[in-house]
């Protein structure tokens, strides 16, 4: 009978460890599901004129930042005057691989700070990024959907802006 106290304490400690483990596992699974839910499903041509694309990320993509953290960091870095750094309600967020061509290789002038592959120069080449998009055209606009969407692409590791694309009537 005297051993009952240690067994109760050990059992309680075991239950606490099990609970913490289940919560950690559940959080990890939820985070993975959230990333998959945000992932680009098919390649999007962001700017057909320069062949800028946003493609599905690898299944094992693990960004260093969440979309919300990247957005908040970008707003702080850009010194955007706002009371909140939350992603606006009218903004969609997707995780994908951004490819942003500069053009044919023109030597040191084009290559400085860019990526060179073959005869092409890129600002971003399959870079893991969050793409934030929103509609810029009023209801009933006759413009194609691609021309009614503005984008901001933020590096999924640093939150720094890679590219911004404005389209549509609201963009001018």
Please spell the DSSP secondary structure of 83-114, one letter per residue.
S--SPPTT-EEEEEEEEEEEEE--SHHHHTTS
What is the pLDDT, as a whole number, of residue 81? 63
Over the stretch 21-55, which tens digit does the pLDDT of each residue have? 444 444 444 444 444 448 999 999 998 888 999 99
What is the pLDDT, as a whole number, of residue 23? 44
Instruction: Summarize the confidence of residues 166-170 as an average pLDDT.
Output: 57
Over the stretch 59-112, which tens digit does the pLDDT of each residue have? 999 999 999 999 988 887 776 665 667 888 889 999 999 999 998 888 877 777
DSSP class of residue 147 equals G
For residue 121, how far is the Cα from the chain centroid?
23
What is the pLDDT, as a whole number, of residue 75? 82
Q: Provide the residue ranges of all domains of the chain, joining segments of one domain with +.
A: 1-38, 39-171
């Amino acid at each position: 009978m005297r051993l009952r106290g240690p067994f109760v304490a050990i059992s309680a400690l075991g239950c606490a460890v099990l609970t913490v483990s289940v919560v950690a596992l559940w959080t990890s699974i939820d985070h993975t599901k959230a990333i998959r839910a945000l992932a680009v499903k098919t390649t999007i041509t962001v700017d057909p004129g320069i062949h800028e694309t946003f493609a599905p990320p690898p299944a094992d993509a693990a960004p260093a930042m969440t979309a919300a953290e990247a957005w908040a960091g970008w707003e702080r870095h850009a010194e955007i005057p706002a009371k909140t750094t939350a992603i606006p309600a009218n903004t969609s967020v997707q995780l994908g691989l951004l490819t942003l061509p500069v053009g044919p290789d023109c030597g040191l002038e084009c290559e400085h700070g860019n990526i060179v592959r073959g005869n092409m120069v890129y600002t971003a080449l399959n870079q893991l990024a969050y793409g934030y998009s929103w509609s810029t055209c009023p209801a009933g606009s006759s413009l194609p959907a691609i021309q009614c969407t503005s984008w901001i692409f933020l590096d999924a590791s640093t939150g720094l802006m890679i590219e911004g694309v404005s389209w549509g009537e609201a963009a001018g």
